[in-house]
Amino acid sequence: MSDDLSKRRLGRGLAALIGEMDQPLPVGDSRPSVNPDRSVPIEFVARNPKNPRRYFDEAELQDLAGSIRQHGIVQPVVVRTRDKDRFEIIAGERRWRAAQLAGLVEIPVIVRDVDDRTALELAIVENVQRADLNPLEEALGYEQLIAEHGYTQNDLGEIIGKSRSHVANSLRLLKLPEPVRDMLAEGSLSAGHARALVSTPDPVTLARTIAAKGLSVRDAEKLAQTHIKAQNAPPAEPREPKDSDTVALERSLTDRLGLAVAINHKGSGGQIKITYQSLEQLEEICRLLEGRG
């Protein structure tokens, strides 16, 4: 299959190969939206190991399994032949998983003869178009197409109907450390939250703070910028060690006042810092300075 033909087909999504699969049926109509080629034993069908989708909500699978028990599989699973009477899923892994939960012995399939590249492309396009991928899975799918099949970000944008910047921002998420990527995959962070953390010095700590406090994306961006600025701030000038006379004087004044006293020399002058913990201690300092002791 040529690159141009592949891209033209993929640009129209799965409809280019298997017909319109998402057309709504009339209320109460459980007929298949696309006629299957055949039914095959469910154990003869295997998932595509390169399918970008890795996370399936268990509660949603159980709901779908209940629907399948009542109505059957309305939308066939799209497969390709791997060996004689053995098939690999191109699209429809969620339905296949739910069918297993429902106890189906056979499932309806549409068989299409496509190569590894096209199977991967279709799996990514189908999931992206149906918003079935979490942001991390989407980014990993894009990375896989770029690494294995030489797609550019512009190519991917045209295929999936997204802007090049959307693809680039998705790929940036892969720069995050594993704990943050796990939070993104689990849904405790959104893609907007995660993108704000890419350039920060400690994205893991910030991600946990954002999740714990339920910060908005805007607040997360402000928090991230604060940490980035702190990271880029010039280092403070090292202080010279204090001489023994200064240290002794600090200790003497601290003992007399009952408050922490710090003396810092600057050239021929300097400053004395007295630390107090309460308004009563402040009032005592004022009393002593005014000579009312």
Query: Are residues 47 and 138 both part of a single domain?
Result: yes
Q: What is the pLDDT of residues 148-165, one digit of tens each?
A: 778 888 888 887 778 889
Last residue of a domain, one of 149, 167, 201: 149
Q: How many domains does the chain have?
A: 3
Residue 93 annotated in active site: yes
Identify the domain containing residue 270 by its residue range. 244-289
**Per-residue pLDDT averaged across 203-223, rounded?**
93
Q: Residue 106 to residues 43, 225, 279: CA-CA distances in angstroms? A: 8, 55, 80
Q: Are 46 and 82 in contact (CB under 8 A)?
A: yes
Query: Are residues 74 and 135 both part of a single domain?
Result: yes
Model confidence at 54: pLDDT above 90: no
Residue 280 lies in a domain: yes
Query: Are residues 92 and 215 both part of a single domain?
Result: no
Query: Are residues 208 and 253 both part of a single domain?
Result: no
CA-based nearest residue to 75, from 60, 95, 99: 95
Q: Helix or strand or coil: residue 14?
A: coil
Given 93, 126, 137, 158, the catalytic residue: 93
pLDDT in the model for residue 148: 79
Q: Is the pTM of this model over 0.75?
A: no
% of the chain surpassing 70 pLDDT:
84
Residue 21 lies in a domain: yes
Residue 42 lies in a domain: yes
Helix ranges restricted to H, 111-243:
116-129, 135-149, 153-160, 164-172, 178-186, 191-197, 203-213, 217-232
What is the chain's length? 293
Q: What is the pLDDT of residues 167-198, one digit of tens each?
A: 999 999 999 999 999 999 888 999 999 999 99
First to last CA, the chain: 96
Query: Are residues 145 and 9 both part of a single domain?
Result: yes
Q: What is the pLDDT of residues 110-143, one digit of tens each?
A: 888 888 878 877 777 777 766 667 888 888 888 8
Q: pLDDT: is 179 or 248 the higher one?
A: 179
Instruction: Report the run of H or E that residue 41 belongs to, with start and end.
Output: strand 38-41
**Per-residue pLDDT averaged across 231-260, rounded?**
79
